[in-house]
Copies of this chain bind each other. A is one copy, B any other.
Amino acid sequence: MPFRAPVTDFQFLFDHVVDFAQIIETERFAETDNDTRDAILLEAGKMVEEVMAPLQRVGDLQGAVLENGVVRTTPGFSDAYQQIAEGGWISMSALPENGGMGLPHSVTTAVNEMMGSGCLSLQLNPLMTQGQIEALEHHASDEVKEMFLSKLVTGEWSGTMNLTEPAAGSDVGALRTKAERNDDGTYSVTGQKIYITWGDNDFTSNVSHLVLARLPDGGNGTKGISLFIVPKFLPDENGDYVVPNTLKVVSLEHKLGIHGSPTAVMQYDGAKGWLVGKEHDGMKAMFTMMNNARLGVGGQGVGVAEAAYQHALAYAMDRVQGRSPIQGGTGSIMDHADVRRMLTGMKADIFAARAIEMACAVALDMGTATNAKDWHARAAFLTPIAKAFGTDTGIKVAEDGVQVHGGMGFIEETGAAQFSRDVRITAIYEGTNGIQSMDLVARKLMDGGDAAYAILDEIEDCAEKVRESMADLAEPLWQATETLREATEWMVAQGDLNDRFAGAVPFLRGFARVLGGYYHLRAAIAEGGEGPRSKLAKFYIKRLLPEHAGLLAHAMEGAGDLYALSPEELGAA
């Protein structure tokens, strides 16, 4: 069954749930209107369906390989990439002065999600480039912008992000890659980086690597780290980028999924690079790139969930087995309550995760457009939730998709298992979901909970308004929000961060559960309480929202008894 881009779902969310209208009322995004937005979504959806989705299986079966030091990509990826680049899908949100379209990030987020549904491995390539464009726009000197931006925006070059080293993963500050100043204002970078997504390819004429490294006078920890942009090819005397830089792909990883995306070990041996941002201040620029990448990864989770859902639904509609347990059924396994439960739950979770994703994107756009503190705070607060819940949902929905297929789900040819393998990485990269949760309960609550409470107030205001007219939805949501408020207050009150960290993951999940209920309620309100979105909201609020209680109870247990068992006792059989 071919993938069908969920364009109308995005339109509905924009128009009725996450208030896209306020974005195009700002000066910054005044040139976007709903027609433009819808035309872009439609066009992108068509491209994904026709160009990317057919490559999903191919990328798995014929993944990227390293041959004599050169990365060979999946057959078809090169052509598809050219179409992505020519369609302008890489640079939708890049600034017009840099050759982009200057569109709201929320539109780009929707397009990226659809591309992630189509072919996750290939989508990762432009996603990385987008992050690099954004980092350069915010932090690079005019010289560096001049050198790199125009090539990245057109897709002639692609970009990567080099943080991780064997001994520096979640703890970036431990990195050992060195940089030295050259006489001409450039730098020489030496060291090894691992897990470099799309570290090389055979379809762009150059690859520019953003590399974190430490100058000789850079202090320990994250504060002594600088950021450099290091291209695969350097310019010759005519300004043509044909001179090989002293960097190479050492090897590609053999991974559980996303075989089409080459994950490289990169070696830099005095490779020439240019500083991005200020010396010793590289983490700031990297965080710009990472924060948006985190939302983008959340969107990958939702995108794979959508594809896995459609795949499972088509199978269920097609699979006839057993007597139908209901009158007037379809005759397929869709008639079975447990199959319905799985499929409806998948759809309800996708709606919730996508709404959180788009709400985060809208907050980002409003922050960009207004520079208002509250919008920045909301975007920052929603980012780890969008990342972790989006990817948890991707994993869960893909798992349920396998289960709907029964025995066929375990057979690779079916394709259901691939979604499950591919999406697994999204809970790990760009900061594991554990790291996202710790970010939420520590940094994102440093405001004493203001950003969190603003969201809770908004939910309760909404629930209050329909507390009588839509009591069966509003009442449980209102109660759940109160429980979440207590849990948030508990978190804020913990002086020892470790007590927060002990419950960080269940807190984030509980927060997302309630927030998802809110957006479902808004969808139901938009429909006047009648229609498919209202029925989906009812399913979510009655059957899935109750999970918040167990999660939030877990969240408030603190760290004490977590360390009660010694490592030896944990190991003792």
Are the CB atoms of A505 and B338 closer together than 8 Å? Answer: yes
Interface residues of A in 409-431 (CB under 8 A from B): 409-413, 417, 420-421, 424-425, 427-429
8 Å CB interface, A323-351 against B: 323, 325-326, 330, 334, 336-344, 347
Contact A553 B561 (CB under 8 A): no
Interface segment, one of A224-232, A375-383, A459-467, A564-572: A564-572
A403 interface residue per 8 A CB criterion? yes
Chain B residues with CB under 8 Å of A412's CB are 254-256
Q: Contact check: which of B173, B326, B561 meets A538 at CB < 8 Å?
A: B561
B interface footprint on A163-183 (CB within 8 Å = 1, 0 otherwise):
010011111011000000000
Task: Check A185 for interface membership: any CB of B closer than 8 A.
Answer: no
Q: Which of B8, B434, B542, B549 contacts A561 (CB 8 A)?
A: B542
Whether the Cβ atoms of A321 and B498 lie closer than 8 Å is no
Cβ-neighbour of A535 out of B167, B255, B395, B561 (below 8 A): B561
B424:A341 contact, CB within 8 angstroms: no
Closest to A334 in B: B567
Q: Does A270 contact B (CB under 8 A)?
A: no
What residues of B have a CB within 8 angstroms of the CB of A16 in the complex?
A: none
Q: How far is the CA of A505 from the CA of B323 in the complex (A)?
A: 20
Given the known inter-chain contacts A544-B554, A546-B549, A569-B535, please indicate yes or no for A410 contacting B438, CB distance below 8 A.
no
Query: Which A541-565 residues have C-beta < 8 A from chain B?
Result: 542-544, 546-551, 553-554, 557, 559, 561-565
Determine the chain B residues whose CB is within 8 A of the CB of A549 once the complex forms.
546, 549-550
CA distance A173 to B170 in the complex (A): 53
Q: Enumerate A1-40 residues with CB–CB distance to B below 8 Å.
A: 4-9
- Whether B546 and A341, one on each chain, are in contact in the complex, defined by CB atoms closer than 8 angstroms, is no
Residue among B6, B434, B536, B554 making CB contact with A338, cutoff 8 Å: B434
Smallest Cβ-Cβ distance to A548: which chain B residue: B550
Contact digits for A498-521, partner B, Cβ 8 Å, 1 yes 0 no: 100110111000000000000000
A538–B573 Cα distance when bound, in Å, is: 18
Q: Once the chains are docked, how many angstroms separate the CA of A565 from the CA of B4?
A: 19
Query: Roughly how many angstroms separate A154 CA and B494 CA in the complex, as a whole number?
Result: 62
Residues of B within 8 A of A410 (CB): 253, 255-257, 424-425, 428
The CA-CA distance from A536 to B564 in the complex, in Å, is 9
A325 and B434 CA atoms in complex are apart in Å by: 15
> In the complex the two chains form, is B542's CB within 8 Å of A322's CB?
no
Q: Is A490 interfacial (CB 8 A cutoff)?
A: no
Tell me if B169 and A321 are in contact (CB < 8 A). Answer: yes
Name A531's closest neighbour in chain B (CB-CB). B569
Name A406's contact: one of B6, B339, B428, B557 (CB within 8 Å).
Answer: B428
With A8-B573, A542-B557 already in contact, 5 other A-B pairs whose C-beta atoms are closer than 8 Å:
A167-B321, A253-B411, A420-B424, A542-B553, A549-B549
**Closest 4 pairs between A and B when the two form their complex, measured CB to CB:** A171-B322, A547-B550, A532-B569, A546-B550
